[in-house]
Structure 1
């Protein structure tokens, strides 16, 4: 009974932290997608000077820990006169990091579209941009959804790292409750359960997106 009383008492704080976690994840998803698509298109661009900056960005974001990126943005950039609030710094770091992974998912999916699709579109008089928009990307998105969804779902868990810059998301909220109750095990397990439920929700959205894209692709054919 003491356990249930503890969880009932902690529930408002944990749920508020989960709400912040969800907002952070959604904001970072939007930012990551907004970065991922143009970076993927730059990676496959026929012009070399567009490819190497995109490749450098992807290599840098994938080759360094997210925690280090958060520290650089929040604690390092003020040294050169660029300052962000904790919330902005957290969303920016998550967006930059996820954008690199999403761009690779999209690039691989675009590369999976057969070359005869490109040639057929060009033979019909479509330009490079038109072929991408109307022929290649609709097919590539269907292929990319599973790997992109994995990246987006991982954002739910990665938001726990922004607690190091005093952003009160689920993990920091849990630590605050533990500091007053001295009951770490049940509260950390409760936080893990909330992360799991949020991830299950996004997995459901992934399956829904896959079904709709598959139906649309089948109709198109």
Structure 2
């Protein structure tokens, strides 16, 4: 086997910087996707029909088309249509956040509908307003039930973040490609970056289990 990892040693700091660069846009996209997904979930279970239609159509579009297509459209179409030179970071946050919100909305909707109807009836009997009931009673219980599914979505988002290398965003994958092109050796930097992705995913998995255990103990 013609493997020589010693050649990538000088490039390790450069590739390690990609961890922060990757997590930076992933965390922002996760927060954006979670907030928008929660709003869409509330639209889906609400009584206002146009909002339900909008949420269903939104979910259908973003779940029915490839994420890389959405990323390309945002990155290339916005400058063409508006003249605004959008940066790769903002393109990545928008594409991943909008895509994630479609999946998160379905997860949260299912979680809300899984909450015992008696909780809603009890809150209504006590005269609790709908908004306060959702925030204080329904959503906290739903989040406990859907936490594993949400963590799985966030882990998937972290792995799929490698797609931003296609728009020259200097994430982990892009840095591995740069090192490979510089050394004319691609296997070693790709293996090293693969290990970094695995460590990030394992970290998120452990974090999710700790949060889930804490929520279970708080019951």
TM-score category (smaller protein): over 0.9
Structure 2 runs not aligned, ≥5 long:
none
> How far apart in 1 are the matches of 2:128 and 2:55?
26
CA contact (8 A) 2:63 2:99 kept: yes
Aligned to 1:7: 8
Aligned to 1:165: 167
> How far apart in 2 are the matches of 1:22 and 1:118?
38
Alignment of 1:84-99 (within 5 A): 84-99=86-101
Deviation at 1:145, TM superposition (A): 0.5
Alignment of 1:13-162 (within 5 A): 13-81=14-82, 83=84, 84-162=86-164
TM-score (norm 1): 0.93
Aligned to 2:217: 215
What does the per-residue CA deviation read over 1:73-118, in whole Å, with 9 as the maximum and x for residues that have no partner? 0111222215321111111101101111111111110010011111
> How far apart in 1 are the matches of 2:69 and 2:5?
38
What does the per-residue CA deviation read over 1:167-212, in whole Å, with 9 as the maximum and x for residues that have no partner? 1100110000000112222221111110000011111111121122
> How far apart in 1 are the matches of 2:111 and 2:78?
35
CA RMSD in angstroms, aligned pairs only = 1.3
Runs of 4+ in structure 1 off by over 4 angstroms are none
TM-score (norm 2): 0.94
